[in-house]
């Protein structure tokens, strides 16, 4: 039977590995799907198969949380999901801001909304005043000039940046000056942030070109084999 020896946390590590945190998030998504299908227990090899990982990697990722599975039944799905919740989520939740309400920003809001009750999109901002005083998926949109006071007033800790490259650094500076401590950056340029602020860059163009490159190689390899 699954047992948690203590409150689930990665705080014992000097510097938690972002990839490990990402894998825990993926495991939790899989566990929630299992819960929806009324599955009570899961083995590490089953989690690994669903996550595209290995059973040994799954067990290593869960070990710092104090998670143990039964050799005959595996992990208790509900308890394991709860344990990961305790590790990943702030107990009182976190508020987020979106900066840039263009096509990408709106798509991100639609994708994100309602998926994690501990992460709440509390405000959105845009430099286009025509978009201010509107609502996007139940999220109020403010002028970018109001960002510092709104971020402080709503105690927003995480910002999603979806603005053009020319605006990205100024937006990041404004966010961190207002107290933001985490930035998810979709702008097509890296941004700098002070020590103590975690920044994750998501370069869609680089990702797409990487996939296209390997797709081209696979196609060429298939053509070579077929013509041999």
Contact by Cβ (8 Å): 159, 175: yes
130-165 residue pLDDT tens: 998 888 888 899 999 999 999 999 999 999 999 999
C-alpha to C-alpha distance for 37 and 219, rounded to whole angstroms: 38
Contact by Cβ (8 Å): 164, 105: no
All domains of the chain, ordered by start, with CATH? 3-87 (1.10.10.10), 94-206 (3.40.50.720)
187-212 residue pLDDT tens: 999 999 999 999 999 999 999 999 99
pTM beyond 0.85: the answer is no
Q: Which regions in the chain score pLDDT beneath 50? A: 1-7, 11-12, 223-228
């Amino acid at each position: 039977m699954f047992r948690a020896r203590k409150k689930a946390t990665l705080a014992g590590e000097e510097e938690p590995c972002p990839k490990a945190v990402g894998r825990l998030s993926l495991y939790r998504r899989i566990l929630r799907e299992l819960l929806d299908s009324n599955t009570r227990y899961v083995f590490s090899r089953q989690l690994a198969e669903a996550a595209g990982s290995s059973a040994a990697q799954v067990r290593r990722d869960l070990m710092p949380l104090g998670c143990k599975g039964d050799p005959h039944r595996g992990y208790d799905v509900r308890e394991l999901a709860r344990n990961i919740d305790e590790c990943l989520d702030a107990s009182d939740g976190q508020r987020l801001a979106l900066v840039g309400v263009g096509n990408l920003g709106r798509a991100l809001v639609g994708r994100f909304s309602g998926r994690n009750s501990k992460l709440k999109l509390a405000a959105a901002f845009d430099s286009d005043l025509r978009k201010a005083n509107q609502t996007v998926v139940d999220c109020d949109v403010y002028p970018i000039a109001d960002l510092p006071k709104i971020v402080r007033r709503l105690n927003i800790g995480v910002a999603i940046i979806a603005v053009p490259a020319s605006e990205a650094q100024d937006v990041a500076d404004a966010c961190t000056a207002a107290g933001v401590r985490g930035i998810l950056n979709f702008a097509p340029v890296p941004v700098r942030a002070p020590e103590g602020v975690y920044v994750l860059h998501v370069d869609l163009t680089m990702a797409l070109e990487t996939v296209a490159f390997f797709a081209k190689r696979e196609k060429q390899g298939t053509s070579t084999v077929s013509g041999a």
